[in-house]
Structure 1
Amino acid sequence: MARTARLLAAEDPPPPPAAAAERPRPAAAGSGLRSLSSAASGLWDRLSVLGAGVSKLEKALGEHFPEGERYFGLENFGNTCYCNSVLQALYHCIPFREQLLEYYATYKNTEDSEDNLLTCLADLFAQITLAKKRTGVLAPKRFVQRVRKQNELFRSYMHQDAHEFWNFLVNDIIDILEEDCRTANSSPETTPEEVSNGAANALANGARERPLVTLVHRTFQGILTNETKCLMCDTITAKDETFFDLSIDVEQNSSLTSCLKSFFSTEILNGEDKFFCDKCSSLQEAHKRMKIKKAPHVLVIHLKRFKYVEQLSRHKKLSYRVVYPLELKLGSMSEDADCEYSLFAVVVHVGSSPNHGHYVSQIKSHGNWLSFDDDTVQISEESTLQTFYGSSREHCGGNTDHGYILFYERLGGKS
């Protein structure tokens, strides 16, 4: 099916001025998903849903429309396609959505709760989930206003980077939950288990604290091991670091698997880059490599399509053809060689320049592929993903729609 084309987001008209609606603050606290509906009483009245009757999408899916699911487009406020495309991927990341709705149900009714980016996001997800209609258009006004208030980078109407927004969002959510935990630990009325959807980091009697595990950590965090082997004494030095996504260099006419293998390939440290070996007490040649020690439940891969060119003194977009599979096996790149993932979302950049263009998302939901283009949601086909691989020849013009951020969910096993 042909995809609705929306090109330069910078050309979209700016939104009319409007004040953000305040969240109601009921007196009683909810508990778990069973209280979601009662906690959100009257929430639907704040929605701006366009159209009436049965939508084209409902007709297209027919009896295959998933029971209880909602497919809503998001209004563009001038240049917010970068935000909308990431939000659609997050909403259709079921583990993240379920945990966020539990957070919403638990804290929506607390009297001393304050508006922040997390509560705005939880409200938005709840509005979609509790919608009376199965399809429509939602205006995420409060969320966008909060983003712009929190980060000046997103205040202008210039074209923004979806990956930069993703990084800002997940890190800000973690900061909010960590602050919630510190506040809860200082309150005798709040148990640590009530923070961060069941996460705790404080132990009784002043014992040593455990790292806080939030809904972001449970869904997206993985652990990388950096191993450096001294070629003189064969001593291996290992250091772990966490990650929420992998930013991968892309190569022309390649595949995601080959780009990942290059990312995890062994690097030789010699010359000016020699490694200081503690055992040898001197600089030595060494081999350095990375490996996934703990694979995340949802693996987010950022294809580095925007490259700074010194001769041009600016960034350029790499339209390289990179084939990404529907199912991804990590093999030797992970300590769990049987680790396998399934693709469920692709954030696509439309345009030939990093400074202009548009973002859309392709989402797999209940076995169906859908195209989310701001306020437009259409049924798509699995074969459509091939059109976002890139061009086999640089500077050949034509298609400028390229996969930019890939979301893979782990199949079975432990994460």
Structure 2
Amino acid sequence: MTSFFGKLKSQNATGPAVGTTPAKKDPNAPLPTPLERMLMNAGPIRNDGSDKFFGMENFGNTCYCNSILQCLYYSVPFRDHVLSYPKRSTPESVAHAQAHAPPRIPPLQQNGTAKKPLGPSSARSAGTPPQQQKPEDKDSPEYKKKQALLAGPILNMSYENSREYEMPETLFTSLKDLFEAVVVNQSRMGVISPSRFLETLRRENEMFRSAMHQDAHEFLNLLLNTVVENIEDHDRKVIAQRKAEQPLRGVEDDGDLSKTESESGTVSFPPILPTPTTSSPTRWLHELFEGTLTSETRCLTCENVSQRDEPFLDLSVDLEQHSSVTACLRRFSEEEMLCERNKFHCDNCGGLQEAEKRMKIKRLPKILALHLKRFKYTEDLQRLQKLFHKVVYPYHLRLFNTTDDAEDPDRLYELYAVVVHIGGGPYHGHYVAVIKTQDRGWLLFDDEMVEPVDKTFVRNFFGDRPGLACAYVLFYQETTFEAVQKEQRMEGKRRASQDLTSGLAVPPRQSAELHQVQTVTPMGSPGSPSDATYYATLDHAVTAPPEFTTNGHVESPRSPPPPTVRPPSPVLQSKRERVKEEKAHEKARRAAEKQAEKDRQEVEKQRRKVLAAKLTEAQKRQEAELKAALEASKASKAEEDKRHALERSQTVHANGSGSGSSGFDRFKRTKSLRFGSLNKKEKPQLDSSEENVASPDAMTPEKEKDKDKDKEKEKDRRNRFSIRKKSFGMLP
């Protein structure tokens, strides 16, 4: 945050006036601040307070109050009306109140403890030399704020002077005392300590009693509404007092204020406010800040259009990424469909109907406050979140979303103040104000610090710059086309004078060279130019003066410039060239992005083609392998069928008469073949009938001997087993 502002101010700070010679000063004296350099050649102090530039002391998260008060002070009609009601205080009464004011108490830290002096802070460091502290950055805002408090003067606003103009102490009287103290003071610059104003604000409003981060837009609405209420209450008391003093005169009470209810959805005033009459003391405040919105609702069933007027103190507009204030105002007046649960009750139809609703401006205020909704509630996070959207705001604005019967619908506004919020969220951060003054141009008000800045400095808060600084509240005041043209001519003259002064400031050595070059060598002498060249130079010298080049030589111009046309300023030329270069770079960047996107699409297309070819080839290979496997399976099945047929034919021939054998004989043969592959141990024991049927050679003498031997072995084995069981007592 600090580096962001330090960088911006170093680029845009206004230097000393051109052509002035600084006076000799003590080398040990501190250097003058940019504001002091700007006010060196200032004239006498005015009585209206427009040439006073005072910072405001921060009492711990009170920057929201300081920035809004600065914007209201430099609104000339608002300041004049505050000073004039009910009457102006005399300088003597203000000086008397300041002399008898309580002593100023320095602001405390946020935790409520006073600031500790520099040096060792613990007993561990006692007896040891203090460590050398790093030198402070003299360009940082913190250092400049400390210097502003040290330089002073500090206006101790711990008093109230409301008895002087016969009013009870309210927030309005504290604001009036603050403005009067600045106007009456003989110094052009200093620091205000608004302790009494903050004490009154916290006493009357509980939400501002804590040290939490507050919203500048909410404070603006509260302050304007409270000022209206305080003035109206005082005016009622004055009227009642006059009626009591003169009961028989029947004086007409033109200041009697009737109360009317106002229904509003986006209105900034409270639901019930006194409607100002022609002679109302708050009429000026309504004319300055209050406008009128018209809500037009058209029933889609009967096409009936109903209207309702709603007052507003400021317009709160929703934001979108990469947009402008004009686009936000256009979306503010877009048609909204009322359907489903939000149906409109039409008096003509007598029931809930679907309708279209839009908001238009019926009456424009003289000071238009635009609130950019930087803080939006997100359901995913269940809290407010700051929007860092880029929103461009112009120096001059003309509203187009007005009604047909609007008063002065083509009113032109100029930007005169911007309240900037610096921070990552709505619950913490810092507020500063960038304000355009009458005679001194744009100034940056950062609590105690006041510095002049360039006009282009205001464009640093669109939301697209690195950092956390974004415009939050924009103040536009009415102006005329003639005033805008006059200001542009003044800027052009000032720029031309600066260019002329910088162009005529030639070093002595360069001026000596110019004089040497301008001497004409006599004709006929060595090194003299020819007749044609000489007379050509004379002809050009008659019509136009010589022009200086960058190296200090004189060149005769090729064609004389017209005397009525002034050459363009180098500053304008450089800006135009810069704009052209930026446009060319942007165009080249877009072309490169398009080409890169095209190349990427082409590469993706080729990759997809190769992948599709690979997939097709793999599918074909798989189908071929499957086909080959099927062919092999068919071949193996045919071979197996042939082998089985051959085996069956051999079996039939072995039995003798294959055709005369019964089905039971074939089954027995198949069973013997099935167990033919078994060894002797696993071969099942067949009875004699089965053995006779199984093989024709079963009754041979050799086989009978083998069979008798096997039977004897089996009998011996059974006898041994029975003897073993008997020895164990298992058999009887």
TM range (shorter): 0.7 to 0.9
Trace 1:339-358 onto structure 2 (pairs within 5 A): 339-358=411-430
Asked if 1 retains the 8 angstrom alpha-carbon contact of 2:45 and 2:188, the reply is: no
Q: Which SS does the other structure have where 1:408 is aligned?
A: strand
Structure 1 residues 151 and 241: alpha-carbon distance in aligned structure 2, compared to 1, 3 A threshold: same
Per-residue Cα deviation, 1:100-152 (whole angstroms, up to 9, x for no partner): 01016358555752111000000001111111000111111111111111111
Q: Does 1:404 align with 2:472?
A: yes
Residue 101 of structure 1 corresponds to: 83
Structure 1 residues 166 and 290: alpha-carbon distance in aligned structure 2, compared to 1, 3 A threshold: same
Aligned mates of 1:403, 1:200 — CA distance in 2: 43
Q: Of the two structures, which has the highest relative contact order with CA contacts closer than 8 Å and spacing of 6 or more?
A: 1
Q: Give 1:4 shift.
A: 4.9
What amino acid is aligned across from residue 373 of structure 1 in structure 2?
D
Q: Which SS does the other structure have where 2:197 is aligned?
A: helix
Residue 35 of structure 2 corresponds to: 57
Trace 1:253-332 onto structure 2 (pairs within 5 A): 253-332=322-401
What amino acid is aligned across from residue 313 of structure 1 in structure 2?
Q
- Write 1 or 2 for the structure with the bigger share of helix: 2
Trace 1:15-414 onto structure 2 (pairs within 5 A): 56-63=34-41, 68=46, 69-103=51-85, 105-106=87-88, 110=164, 112-188=166-242, 201-202=255-256, 211=276, 213=280, 214=282, 215-333=284-402, 335=406, 336-366=408-438, 368-391=441-464, 398-412=466-480
Structure 1 residues 228 and 190: alpha-carbon distance in aligned structure 2, compared to 1, 3 A threshold: farther
Q: Give 1:221 shift.
A: 0.7
Per-residue Cα deviation, 1:217-241 (whole angstroms, up to 9, x for no partner): 1310111111111222222111111
What amino acid is aligned across from residue 316 of structure 2 in structure 1?
S
What amino acid is aligned across from residue 309 of structure 2 in structure 1?
D
Asked if 1 retains the 8 angstrom alpha-carbon contact of 2:333 and 2:360, the reply is: yes
Q: Which SS does the other structure have where 1:167 is aligned?
A: helix
Q: Which SS does the other structure have where 2:428 is aligned?
A: coil
Per-residue Cα deviation, 1:155-210 (whole angstroms, up to 9, x for no partner): 1111111111111111111111121122122112799xxxxxxx96328xxxxx96
What amino acid is aligned across from residue 236 of structure 2 in structure 1?
R
Structure 1 residues 337 and 201: alpha-carbon distance in aligned structure 2, compared to 1, 3 A threshold: same
Q: Give 1:294 shift.
A: 0.6
Q: Which SS does the other structure have where 2:203 is aligned?
A: helix
Per-residue Cα deviation, 1:324-383 (whole angstroms, up to 9, x for no partner): 111111023353431221110000001111111100000001250000000000001111
Structure 1 residues 65 and 242: alpha-carbon distance in aligned structure 2, compared to 1, 3 A threshold: farther
Unaligned runs of 5+ in 2: 8-28, 90-161, 246-252, 258-273, 482-732
Taking structure 2 as the reference length, what is the TM-score of the superposition? 0.45
What amino acid is aligned across from residue 372 of structure 1 in structure 2?
F
In our comparison, the structure showing a higher alpha carbon Rg is 2
What amino acid is aligned across from residue 120 of structure 1 in structure 2?
S
Aligned mates of 1:345, 1:282 — CA distance in 2: 47
Q: Which SS does the other structure have where 1:187 is aligned?
A: helix
Structure 1 residues 66 and 389: alpha-carbon distance in aligned structure 2, compared to 1, 3 A threshold: farther
Q: Which SS does the other structure have where 1:172 is aligned?
A: helix
Aligned mates of 1:119, 1:106 — CA distance in 2: 12
Asked if 2 retains the 8 angstrom alpha-carbon contact of 1:309 and 1:315, the reply is: yes
Q: Give 1:53 shift.
A: 11
Asked if 2 retains the 8 angstrom alpha-carbon contact of 1:120 and 1:142, the reply is: yes
Q: Give 1:65 shift.
A: 7.3
Asked if 1 retains the 8 angstrom alpha-carbon contact of 2:420 and 2:433, the reply is: yes
- Write 1 or 2 for the structure with the bigger share of strand: 1
Q: Give 1:309 shift.
A: 1.5
Q: Which SS does the other structure have where 2:444 is aligned?
A: strand
Aligned mates of 1:65, 1:188 — CA distance in 2: 45
Q: Give 1:273 shift.
A: 2.0
What is the RMSD computed on CA atoms of the aligned residues? 2.8
Structure 1 residues 332 and 190: alpha-carbon distance in aligned structure 2, compared to 1, 3 A threshold: farther
Structure 1 residues 53 and 186: alpha-carbon distance in aligned structure 2, compared to 1, 3 A threshold: farther
Residue 249 of structure 2 corresponds to: none
Q: Give 1:60 shift.
A: 2.4
Residue 15 of structure 1 corresponds to: none
